[in-house]
Amino acid sequence: MKLLYTLFLLISGLFVTVPISYAYNILVIFGHPGKSHYDVFKPLFQELGDRGHNITIISHVKTTGDIKNGRDVLLSDKPLVNFLNLSDFPGNHLQRYLEAHMIGYFADLTCEPSLQSEELQNFLKEDNQFDIILTEMFNTNCFFGLINKFQAPFIGLSSCAMMAWHPDWFGSPNNPSYNSMTYMAYPVPMTFLQRVENTLMYIENVLEYKFMMEWSGRKLSLQYTGFEPVDPHKASLLLLNTHYSLHGAKPLTPSIVEVGGIHVVSKKPKKLPVDIEKWTNEATSGLIYFSLGSLVKGHTFPDLQLKAFIKAFSKLPQKVLWKWEIDDMPGKPGNIMLTKWAPQFDILCHPNTVLFISHGGLLGTTEAVHCGVPMLVMPQFGDQPLNAEALKSNGAGVILKLRDATEDSISEAISEAMSTKTKTKAKDLSERFKDRLVSPLETSIFWIEYIAKHKGGQSLQSASIAMPFYQYFLLDVIAFTVLALFLFLFIIFESICLFARRFFGKPKTKLL
């Protein structure tokens, strides 16, 4: 009898102390066709599936088999990989001003065929209910109508640094006096002229979004989903793929959570493919890994710069592993190995890897930072200049302008990037980047389940979101104060004049 009573107490205790876990129905919307954007958050979707949640993913990437309890709604079966040529980017100052417009134009090109997807249109006819929606906030305004359709709290995902219009959505200040705009990538503190240009870029970006991107997204959303796009100010949270150790500290509201490195911090290097492992292990003087990411075709290098790199590499004792999409490379020396694909993270964390040469995409940058490998960066577009400047500011990277690259400048840049000073700074940055109370993956899971459980994140939102422009910038208070001060000074002035006339005025004389 005593044994039964003891068992009863133990079982009762389990029911009291073990929290009940709920399986939520989660909709993920990744409308942008860039595969690298999806890859940032893929481990998050896998972990949500492993925890028993039901995941429906609208994207260009087929995930069947990779994610438990997952369902694909394919917008196309061809995510963007290796479709840009280096000749597409002139690398001049004007390009920076045109990029916001280029991004908006690209959204128009990709949104319409994506929304026309047969799988998506069939999905919209189904009777689905979701507890929470996760949506990428990059070129995806045309998909915001889906959020209004399903009427669930939603969380924004950003695979790159915030655009100029993002902070406003979450009530976070975005002062261009010290926050460099993504396309400007100025070091902090900025000079006077840099602050002028940064402010002009901020205004241009915000206007471009308001009068071009937002309008175009609304038109397509109404046409293909039948719903008005949701107001992004209603988002409960933004999971942002940055970290203050790399990109610097910024004033963020509680509804913006930095989870930079979410795809690597909980990841361990795997065994390399046989041919790459052999090449890497034999690199006793060190391995240099060269990759321009998934969007840019490495073999579209300008001929002059390609020859300069080959000559510079041929004089190095290190071996080079170069991601190259075609079978041959004219004049390739013996210390270069070409590969059409490589497990980047596993290579960067190999003990023989001493340098990563890259375009500065945030995935590769965070992987190199995690592994403590210095970088030589040749930024081309988007947030790449910002990431390159962040590395340079931390002393963990060197910037090289591809268009101006010569054999000598390449050799000098490689030498600086592999110097003891840069290596030490890269290791220090890696330690600070990884030193967190909770991993970015666990942080993301917590907040997603928190928003789903509480049906929104009202307590996280700043009151400034609901304030009109004139109140936010205290224009009414300033106007009132100036008017009151003017009135006060006017009364004082009139009082003094009255006093002067009464006591110091000339006495009146009688005329006889």
- pLDDT tens digits along 160-173: 999 999 999 999 99
> What is the reported pLDDT for 432?
98
CATH tag, 274-434: 3.40.50.2000
> What is the reported pLDDT for 65?
79
d(CA 346, CA 336): 19
d(CA 428, CA 422): 10
Two tokens, residue 468: 């009109």
Predicted confidence band at 14 (pLDDT cuts at 50, 70, 90)? very low
Residue with the larger pLDDT of the pair 309 and 1: 309
% of the chain residues with pLDDT over 70: 90
Two tokens, residue 243: 């970290």
Q: What is the mean pLDDT of residues 176-200?
A: 91
CATH fourth-level superfamily of 25-264+439-466 = Glycogen Phosphorylase B; (3.40.50.2000)
Report the largest interatomic distance among the alpha carbons of the chain, rounded to a whole angstrom: 132
77 pLDDT higher than 70: no
Predicted confidence band at 13 (pLDDT cuts at 50, 70, 90)? very low
**pLDDT winner (highest mean) among 302-306, 332-336, 508-512:** 332-336
> What is the reported pLDDT for 403?
86
- Look at strands 336-339 and 256-258 and give their pairing: unpaired
Which residues touch 247 (CB under 8 Å, ≥6 apart)?
A: 161, 260, 386, 387, 390
Predicted confidence band at 371 (pLDDT cuts at 50, 70, 90)? very high
Residues of the chain with CATH 3.40.50.2000: 25-264+439-466, 274-434
10 pLDDT higher than 50: no
